[in-house]
Amino acid sequence: MNKSKIWMDGKLVNFDDANVHVLTHGLHYGSGVFEGIRVYNNENGRGIFRLREHMQRFLNSAKCISMPVPYSLEQLCEACREVVRAAGPEGDYLRPISFWGLSPTGNIGVNPLKCPVNTVIACTHMGAYMGAEQLERGANIITSSWEKPSNRAALLNAKVSGNYINSVVARIEAVKRGADEALMLNSEGNVAEGTGENLFMVKTGRIFTPPMTAGILEGITRDCIMAIARDKGFEVIERDITRSELYVADEVFMTGTAAEVTPVRTIDDHVIGEGRAGPKTRSIQQTFAAAVKGDLPKYEHWLDVV
């Protein structure tokens, strides 16, 4: 039996009691918004990584789909702290989610506006998302046959639950093909992102990453990596990247709450650089790892310690 607690609509409940009705609107239509937030142990306690920024994005996502989340930013941040305090030592990943719930009449239909908004926050174990070996040696990825929706077709700046079926089918495709992850192109045929990660390319000493207009999520880890890279004196450029550019890049790496900083070893069986984490990737990866553990005062504001 899992002894952790889950925050549901304002109170902590036992793990096994955290249930929703089978006719919940969000289950049928993907009408929810969510976040993923890492929790790191350090000498001062447990640090929640950029808690306020994540929960502000959470509320922004809800705003994009006209969902009235009945909690303030401060209330949501405190709820996350409460869940972390109640979690076991293995809890390293927070999952806040708000979704439209069961209609008062019990009816099912696309329009959710008469449904209540339910909010849940759980703390569970994530570990190394693609695997410890991939963090060290690099991941093998493939270009998915599925593309990202265009900015005309989806709210790509928001973490909307329904959007992620696109990522799910791409990740399944990657696994079936023996890869660790999938790279997704946008409707213009340019590089967008992974199924849950932003992407960076190192070429001729500079670091490139697709811009927001490429149909990517504005990643919070992405923002940290860009700050770390620039603090190291690396030039970081946001521009469109083609698939074939990646094949001849010096280094490629992916970033995200779950992925952290994961080097890419191969793309579509093309070996990237020397087939292992390159010097810039390794330098950024090591600095990020030290920052999230609270070892670098310059970045200690990224952690909300409980």
Other beta carbons within 10 Å of 8 = 18
> Max alpha carbon distance in the chain (Å)?
61
For 223, residues 6+ apart whose C-beta sits below 8 A from its C-beta are none
The alpha-helical segments, DSSP class H, found in 232-278 are: 243-247
Catalytic residues, which ones? 159
- Give the three-state DSSP class for 76: helix
Round to whole Å and give the CA distance between 171 and 29: 20
Burial class (CB in 10 A: 0-12, 13-18, 19+), 144: buried
| Contact assessment for residue 207 and residue 236, using Cβ atoms and an 8 Å cutoff | yes
Nearest to 6 by CA among 125, 87, 93: 87
Residue 278 in tokens: 């390159």
